[in-house]
Amino acid sequence: MGNGLAVVHDADGLGDEDMQSFAHWTNLSETTFLLSPTSPGADYRVRIFTPGGELPFAGHPTLGTCHAWLEAGGAPAQSGVVIQECGVGLVPVQRGERLAFAAPPLLRDGPVDAATLDSVLRCLALDGGDVIDAQWVDNGPGWVAVLLRDADAVLRVKPAAIEGKIGVVGLHPSGSGAAIEVRAFFEVDGVTREDPVTGSLNASVAQWLLGSGRVTAPYVATQGGALGRAGEVHVAQDADGTIWVGGAATTYITGTVDLP
């Protein structure tokens, strides 16, 4: 009921084309490949591929890959935390009630210019009156996000052809079990797709909404309802300001794959 992920162990012998081909074949939002670390302090290195290309960082693949690495016998150097090496650098993953990664710094933030906002509105089939705020929230994949008037408005969005990566956010009523509703849209091979649960977007949206005072931590974000999924993302914040993004991970399929 969340977001599927394929994790390939012992991938040091695979080349770029091998990884991309297999990720395209799985047709999942992401497929990851576990590699030996190259950075001091890292427990493992991961490369993250969508069906159409490689990402420097993604959230649900970070949690799923860490889960798979630990389940296969991985032993972190530090007690209680796993250090993942990926395209954006080193990402700490806490071990507790659930795995949670530290939100990486934003590569681009700030208000969205008028031309970009017009493009986003066209992609989402919305008009300017539907949007309360819009912000760059890019922590690697390229996210731009819009805040709508409430969670119901988010669930009613029926996008047209998507360009880039667009997040849509709305607040649930006070007293609800969740604070915000999130949806994530992007394009693969010319086809608009919606991600069931998106850790990277939730991480950057948390930085935006917590920083602007629109929400307080800890909180729960729901995602995937429009797709018949039941994703829950748990967001917390340390006293030093570090934002932690967590969720449950469960293994459903294990096996071996012969690549050509």
Catalytic residues: 30
Phi-psi region of 97 (alpha: psi -120 to 50; beta: other; left: phi over 0): alpha
Task: Report the C-alpha gap between 207 and 24 in whole angstroms.
Answer: 31
Phi-psi region of 126 (alpha: psi -120 to 50; beta: other; left: phi over 0): beta
Task: Report the C-alpha gap between 92 and 220 in whole angstroms.
Answer: 20
Task: Report the C-alpha gap between 128 and 1 in whole angstroms.
Answer: 33
Cα–Cα nearest to 69, from 41, 39, 37? 37
Task: Report the C-alpha gap between 205 and 235 in whole angstroms.
Answer: 10
Number of neighbouring beta carbons within 10 Å of residue 141: 23
Identify the DSSP state of 214.
Answer: S
| Side-chain-side CA neighbours of residue 257 (13 Å) | 19
Structure tokens at 87: 């395209």
Cα–Cα nearest to 51, from 246, 163, 254, 195? 195
| Side-chain-side CA neighbours of residue 139 (13 Å) | 24
